[in-house]
Amino acid sequence: MMFELARQRLAPVFNLLDINEEVMIRLSVPKRTIVANIPVRMDDGTLRVFTGYRIQYDDTRGPTKGGIRFHPDVDMQEVTSLSFWMTVKCAVAGLPFGGAKGGVTVNPKELSLMEIERLSRGYIRAFADVLGEKRDIPAPDVYTNATIMGWMADEYAMIARRQEPGIITGKPLHLNGSKGREFATGQGALFALQEYLEHYKPSSEQMTIAVQGFGNAGFHFARIAQQCGYRVVAISDSQGAIYDPKGLNVLDVHRLKQEDNRLASVYCDGSVCNELDYETLSNEALLELNVDVLVLAALENQITEQNAHQIQAKTVLEIANGPVSPDADQILEAREIDVIPDVLANAGGVIVSYFEWVQNRSGMYWEEAEVEQQLKKIMVKESQSIFDHAKKHKCSLRTAAYVHGVERLAGAIDQRGNHKLFKSV
């Protein structure tokens, strides 16, 4: 069902573009689907077997690229949908990659750190034959991080009997990671938002922002946005949300979250954090706040046809993958609420992963300022192209983004030969 919803995004695009039918056929199904059972010895000596997935959706434009998530809801439908979105996202960003995704059905909160390491290394052993810096390059995703990517790269090196740092991106800095990768998704999303505001809603007033999801991407977006003068008034995690119309101290909220695993509005001075006045909300209530920008940085299908009519934000920014359902998209569009789509808004992560891959293969490493400069250059360029498509086709930003990406994919597919070419021979 989830994959069918993802493919619905293509229907309006094919209506706008004059593309060969073979492009539609190629993009309607993944190229390769691999499922593996991963045995892990637990700390108490028992053996558990976890199901792992790797979907390589399309490699027409280059080796496939996509993260690995550890989550209890991971299944074939989810991973296939995510690999499809990665295919479009890499094309939207103009990267020489196809799309892939991986995952393990597991609740990592129930595992010790050593059990997570065994699972991470077991994942690479299970899928090593289909990975490679010229074939398929994983990266972190939900509940995976730089440390896990370092374990995975190390495991691959032991299997291959050689160092091949370009096999994995999102690695720790001292294990051939890239400067700027940790906050790339949040930084890229802010670049996309700023371009959007400049084109559509120029204003000198302080923008109010609510952020659903306070993981790596959501935190860094909120942190950088606040530094740029935006007022972050609400933040949520899986347990609930906090709200203060005067604004939250993002760094202090994050510090308390790391120390006590809870959200609260606080002011920290040295080692002491004092709580400030704030309201507690449900995640559902956060979505319905009257703010300028609602940032979705959690999981899929957060806005659906059931709650789309209650959304009061003027603009929705998708940092998560697929947080707005196709039915909700239509409702928001009818209500003139713009959605800055995931395939553009969260492309910063894969763009800087590309930079890391380039640095690993060349052996020349960039300073953080250069990474940020090159990220901004790509985000601004591709954002402007999407806004031009939206104006030309009189369509939503999502449809414009898909038009932009599918045009590139169609060009690569057609230039390898199609029915029209061979029929003329």
* Residues that are catalytic: 101
Q: Are 295 and 221 in contact (CB under 8 A)?
A: yes
Which pairs count as long-range contacts for 28-33, CB under 8 Å and 24+ apart, including other chains?
A: 30/55, 30/56, 30/57, 30/58, 30/80, 30/83, 30/84, 31/56, 31/57, 31/58, 31/59, 32/56, 32/130, 33/76, 33/80
Distance of CA 12 to the CA centre of its chain: 23
What is the torsion angle, in degrees rounded to the nearest 10, for the CA atoms of residue 9, residue 15, residue 19 and residue 21? Answer: 80
For residue 399, the surrounding DSSP H or E stretch is helix 397-414
Which tokens is 147 given? 């440390």
Separation between Cα atoms, residue 138 and residue 128, nearest integer Å: 11
Place of tokens 């490679």: 132
Q: Helices 397-414 and 368-393 sit at what angle, rounded to 10 degrees?
A: 100
Q: How many CA atoms lie within 13 A of 255 on its CB side?
A: 16
Place of tokens 């999801």: 213
